[in-house]
């Protein structure tokens, strides 16, 4: 046994067990998901798709991938899904690759206002291969202004508009986004990586009926293994796509499948696809509906408790599982807050706030989410307690004794909430 690595895995398990996990993009998978991902399926090569593989011995993994596909279709009420993307970024890469040519123009949510790297950041393939334009939130409200987005779209004439974010706590109006996309003849990609679990259960407005294509990660509010997924409510002929010999446009599903494999990836991770299948079945249950409702209630309770203590939440609150806190009125940077909270085993991530004056390595804010602590079983009263602990920590960052006391309170609290329900 590799003692060195397994000791470290154990150490990480202790960290995850003892601490309060508030990173909005993280969650705790079930033991079944974990067992699927840690299974012998990792040994199997299966380039291609079920029934059309480039390797022998794929009969079993074909069944697994087909089940994953059918469950994801049911979950999202979709005509098409691709379960092979290794991550959310890979899913987005495949969509760009399928729908556009290098040099085409995209319109995305500005990274510094809450968007994701893959929505056109200059350090990412999306900003290097495509011409970019951006929309952001309003300074006064922290909200998207759809009339402004429409104006930008009309000026920029993008081939694709991307709706979706990594740090936006409000509902996204996908119907309005589609109207804008239709007006300028663009494709609409909804990247629902963050709220996918809540969308799947009808807790937030659905993107699938409105966007041409949706992408998501499977490991955030969906509570599955680390991975990506592409979804289409209805298949269609890509207006910018390659043509068949007959002159007809290729179906988007054909273009997407070949953009994932062989366009961007090699062999699919069959152990992860099995984990996705397990997670999709879990997400189809009523228990998961209760989980998503509680996740949102916890976020609302937490945001309200922060506001009560004088913290500034961007947009003033939350509709989903997350919130972005501007710490400037408290005289603390995001980096300082992340580090101080780390001392007491409360994990958050520093995050740029819209119109931030600090660098991305320092930032003026922190992003907080409730998916992981809700999985552990915490409720609204616990959220108030967590906010009290966070506030005491941030107001006493130099007081070693205080931090040590808070750390043991955190550990004692979380010992009552096991990572796996027996
Ligand atoms: N899209 C959005 C909106 C995200 O927030 C993220 C991850 O945080 C991704 C895509 C990329 O996912 P991954 O980290 O799996 O590549």
The verdict on 201 and 61 lying in the same domain is: yes
Atom in ligand 1 nearest the alpha carbon of residue 87: 15
**pLDDT < 50 stretches in the chain:** none
Give the residue among 75, 85, 84 at the shortest CA–CA distance from 52.
84
Torsion of CA 309, 315, 320, 321, to 10 degrees: -50
Q: Of 27, 89, 93, which is best to mutate to test ligand 1, by the most ligand atoms within 8 angstroms of its C-beta?
A: 89
Instruction: Give the number of the atom of ligand 1 that is nearest the alpha carbon of residue 86.
Output: 15
Asked whether residue 102 is domain-assigned, the answer is yes
At residue 320, the 3 state secondary structure works out as coil
Q: Look at residue 35 and tell me if it is in a domain.
A: no
Q: Would you say residue 295 lies in a domain?
A: yes
In a domain? residue 263: yes
3-state helix, strand and coil shares in percent for the chain, rounded to the nearest 5: 45, 15, 40
- Domain co-membership, 179 together with 306: no
- Of 254, 284, 314, the residue that ends a domain is 284
389: domain CATH number is 3.90.1150.10
Kindly report the protein residue whose alpha carbon is nearest to atom 10 of ligand 1: 88
In CATH, what number is assigned to the domain containing residue 232?
3.40.640.10
What's the gap in Å between 116 CA and the centre of ligand 1?
Answer: 7
Residue 421 in domain: no
What is the set of active-site residues?
A: 45, 47, 191, 217, 220, 226
Q: Is the ipTM reported for this complex over the cut 0.95?
A: yes
Indicate which residue's Cα is closest to atom 9 of ligand 1: 88
- Let me know whether 292 and 227 are in one domain: no
Residue 117 assigned ligand-binding role = yes
Residue 167's alpha-carbon distances to 28, 170, 185, 351, 413, in angstroms, are 20, 9, 27, 8, 28
Cβ neighbours of residue 56 under 8 Å, at least 6 residues apart? Answer: none
Same domain, 263 and 351: no
pLDDT at 421 (0 to 100)? 66
d(CA 83, CA 70): 10
- Atom index in ligand 1 nearest the CA of residue 92 equals 10
Q: What is the CB-side half-sphere exposure of residue 24 using CA atoms within 13 A? A: 28
Buried b (16+ CB within 10 A) or exposed e, 273-309: bbbbbbbbbbbbeeebbebbebbbebbbbbbbbbbee
Q: What is the pLDDT of residue 420?
A: 81
For a mutational test of ligand 1's pocket, the pick from 116, 207, 221, 227, i.e. the residue with the most ligand atoms closer than 8 A to its C-beta, is: 116
Ligand 1 centre and the CA of 371: distance in Å? Answer: 15
pLDDT for 32 equals 98
111 marked as binding residue:
yes
- 154 and 239 belong to one structural domain: yes
For residues 125 and 224, state if they share a domain: yes
End position of a domain, from candidates 284, 316, 348: 284
Residue 126 belongs to a domain: yes
Pocket test of ligand 1: the residue of 92, 166, 168 to mutate, having most ligand atoms within 8 Å of its CB, is 166
Ligand 1 centroid, distance to 183 Cα (angstroms): 28
Q: How far is the CA of 294 from the centre of ligand 1 (A)?
A: 23
| Strand, coil or helix: 189 | strand
Q: How many independent structural domains does the chain possess?
A: 2
User: Closest ligand 1 atom, CA of 25?
Assistant: 8
* Residue 30: predicted pLDDT: 97
User: Is 158 a known ligand-binding residue?
Assistant: no
Are 131 and 187 contained in the same domain? yes
Question: CA-CA distance, 94 to 82, in Å (whole number)?
Answer: 10
Q: Is 113 annotated as a binding residue?
A: no
**Does one domain contain both 212 and 80?**
yes
Of 284, 319, 345, which marks where a domain is finished? 284
Together in a domain, 154 and 217 = yes
Closest ligand 1 atom to 165 CA: 3
192 contacts 41 by C-beta, under 8 angstroms: no
> Residues near ligand 1 with C-beta < 6 Å?
25, 87-89, 116, 118, 164-166, 191, 193-194, 217, 228
Say what the pLDDT of residue 240 is: 75
User: What spacing in Å lies between the alpha carbon of 193 and ligand 1's midpoint?
Assistant: 6
Going by CA atoms, what residue is nearest to atom 14 of ligand 1? 88
Residue 34 lies in a domain: no
Q: 100-138: per-residue pLDDT in tens?
A: 999 999 999 999 899 999 999 999 999 999 999 999 999
The count of other CB atoms within 10 Å of the CB of residue 205 is 16
Residue 101 structural domain = 44-284
> Do 264 and 299 belong to one domain?
no
Ligand 1 geometric centre to CA of 115 (Å): 10
Confirm whether 39 is domain-assigned.
no
Residues 98 and 197 in one domain: yes
Same domain membership, residue 299 and residue 182 = no
């Amino acid at each position: 046994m590799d003692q060195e690595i397994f000791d470290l895995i154990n150490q990480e398990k202790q960290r995850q067990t003892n601490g309060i996990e508030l990173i909005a993009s993280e969650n705790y998978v079930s033991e079944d998901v974990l067992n699927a991902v840690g299974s012998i399926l990792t040994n199997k090569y299966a380039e291609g798709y079920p029934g059309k593989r480039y390797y022998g011995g794929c009969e079993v993994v074909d069944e697994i991938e087909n089940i994953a596909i059918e469950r994801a279709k049911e979950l999202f009420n979709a005509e098409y899904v691709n379960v092979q993307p290794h991550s959310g970024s890979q899913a987005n890469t495949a969509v760009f690759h399928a729908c556009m040519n290098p040099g085409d123009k995209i319109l995305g949510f500005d990274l510094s206002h809450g968007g994701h790297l893959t929505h056109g950041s200059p350090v990412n393939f999306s900003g290097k291969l495509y011409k970019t334009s951006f929309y952001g939130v309003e300074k006064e409200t922290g909200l998207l202004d759809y009339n402004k987005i429409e104006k930008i779209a009309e000026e920029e004439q993008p081939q694709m508009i991307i709706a979706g974010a990594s740090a936006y706590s409000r509902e996204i109006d996908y119907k309005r986004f589609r109207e804008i996309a239709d007006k300028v003849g663009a494709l609409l990609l909804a990247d629902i990586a963050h709220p996918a679990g809540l969308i799947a259960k009808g807790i937030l407005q659905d993107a699938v009926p409105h966007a041409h294509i949706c992408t998501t990660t499977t490991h955030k509010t969906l509570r599955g293994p680390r991975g990506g997924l592409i979804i289409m409510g209805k298949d269609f002929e890509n207006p910018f796509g390659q043509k068949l010999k007959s002159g007809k446009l290729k179906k988007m599903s054909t273009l997407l499948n070949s953009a994932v494999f062989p366009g961007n990836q090699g062999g699919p991770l069959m152990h992860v696809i099995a984990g996705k299948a397990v997670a999709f079945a879990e997400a189809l249950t009523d228990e998961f509906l209760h989980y998503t409702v509680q996740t949102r209630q916890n976020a609302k309770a937490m945001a309200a408790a922060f506001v009560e203590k004088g913290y500034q939440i961007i947009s003033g609150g939350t509709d989903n599982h997350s919130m972005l806190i501007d710490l400037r009125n408290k005289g603390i940077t995001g980096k300082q807050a992340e580090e101080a909270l780390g001392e007491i085993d409360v994990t958050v991530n520093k995050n740029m706030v819209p119109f931030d004056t600090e660098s991305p390595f320092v930032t003026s804010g922190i992003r907080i989410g409730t998916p992981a602590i809700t999985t552990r079983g915490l409720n609204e009263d616990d959220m108030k307690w967590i906010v009290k602990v966070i506030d005491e920590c941030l107001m006493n960052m130099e007081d070693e004794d205080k931090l040590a006391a808070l750390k043991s309170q955190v550990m004692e609290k979380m010992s009552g909430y096991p990572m796996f329900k027996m």
